[in-house]
Amino acid sequence: MAPSLEAPDDEVRDVLANPLKKKPDLVAPEPEHCPGPESEQAGTADSCAGCPNQQICASAPKGPDPDLPLITARLADVKHKILVLSGKGGVGKSTLTVQLAHAFATNPDTTVGVMDTDICGPSIPKMLGVETETIHTSNAGWEPVWAMDNLAVMSIQFLLPNRDDAIIWRGPKKNGLIKQFLKDVQWGELDFLLVDTPPGTSDEHLSVNTFLKESKIEGAVVVTTPQEVALLDVRKEIDFCRKAGIRILGIVENMSLFVCPGCKHESKIFLDHTGGGRGLAEELGIPFLGSVPLDPRIGIACDYGESFFDSFPDSSACKALKGVVKGLVEQIGLDPEVLLPEGDGSS
């Protein structure tokens, strides 16, 4: 029989509830009836009597992170916190995050924040045209970098001595920085905080979910491309959201087709043999926010740190993105006609 990595339900719940909890360094193997060195009963249960590890387990930190109330207080004036997720890399999570930020920021009365939790591959500053900026500190904490008057961003990129420096960190150090982004950054009053995440369902995702749980996450936007290879990993991300109690606001299918800027002919680069993002949404009962075509000009706008909405407002990709934003706003329970400027809510 093949080995299984399936974890017991109680173990899954413990990881989701305490992702930053470090297992104590034991001096002897765990005995047969051990309650677990990370459990609340560690070191105090009857079965712990006489165990060489008893004192180690009893003194190990237990309970919720003491910084959670500080994070909740810091984010008290942030109205809507939205995660951008995908189990698959290369589907355009960061690109979509930037487009959502620009779309919301087209309303001068809306203030938007973007938090880049892709610690090893921070691309948000480049896409927002603030790659060379640095973080300023004050007695109140870190100041985010303002890409526009109403668009703030925080990323590890601003902390690097050289922009090409590699970040070679283990999980605990990544988690610590994410906590700082939430606890020490003066986000102030925001209508939206968009959290861009790396691929997968690991350290960064667990940390963000845990740190934001008390201050309430609005939900997650899940990004995919049409082909089954991407959908395989996206299904895992959706399963993670459901186990972690994160509401899925909708699925966005990115790079759905290619529209030639010259002749306007449409070609499917990634074939949706199994129904693509729309089929997955219908299969799992999740809202489908829309399909965004592959447009090289989106990449150009990101490379130059410009708003695609301002540069190519009449393109089919821009119209599709506006439709995605409209659907997202409706899922949150807001009125697109009020939130978005005239013409930015069309599908």
Q: Is 89 annotated as a binding residue?
A: yes
Q: Is 243 annotated as a binding residue?
A: no
Q: Is 260 annotated as a binding residue?
A: yes
Pairing of strands 190-196, 112-116: parallel
Q: Is 171 annotated as a binding residue?
A: no
The DSSP result for 256-320, as a single string, is EEEE-TTT--EE-SS--TT-HHHHHHHHHT--EEEEEEE-HHHHHHHHTT--HHHH-TTSHHHHH
For 20, phi and psi rounded to 5 degrees?
A: -95, 0
Q: Is 263 annotated as a binding residue?
A: yes
Which of 181, 180, 156 shows the shortest CA–CA distance to 169? 156
Q: Is 43 annotated as a binding residue?
A: no
Which of 117, 119, 343, 90 shows the shortest CA–CA distance to 209? 117
Q: Is 57 annotated as a binding residue?
A: yes
**Count of residues for the chain?**
347
Q: Is 327 annotated as a binding residue?
A: no
**126-132 CB contacts, 8 Å cutoff, 24+ apart:** 126/157, 126/302, 126/303, 126/305, 127/94, 127/95, 127/98, 127/302, 127/305, 128/98, 128/101, 128/153, 128/305, 129/304, 129/305, 129/306, 130/305, 131/157, 131/163, 131/305, 132/163
Count of H helices and E strands in the chain?
Answer: 13, 11
Residue in this structure with the two tokens 């089919």, named with its chain if needed: 316
Q: Is 318 annotated as a binding residue?
A: no
Pairing of strands 219-224, 141-143: unpaired
Q: At what angle do helices 203-213 and 171-183 cross, to 10 degrees?
A: 30
Cα(194)–Cα(182) distance, integer angstroms: 12
Q: Is 92 annotated as a binding residue?
A: yes
Q: Using an 8 Å Cβ cutoff, are 183 and 71 in contact?
A: yes
Can you say which residues are annotated as belonging to the binding site for ATP? 87-94
Can you say which residues are annotated as belonging to the binding site for [4Fe-4S] cluster? 34, 48, 51, 57, 260, 263
Can you say which residues are annotated as belonging to the binding site? 34, 48, 51, 57, 87-94, 260, 263
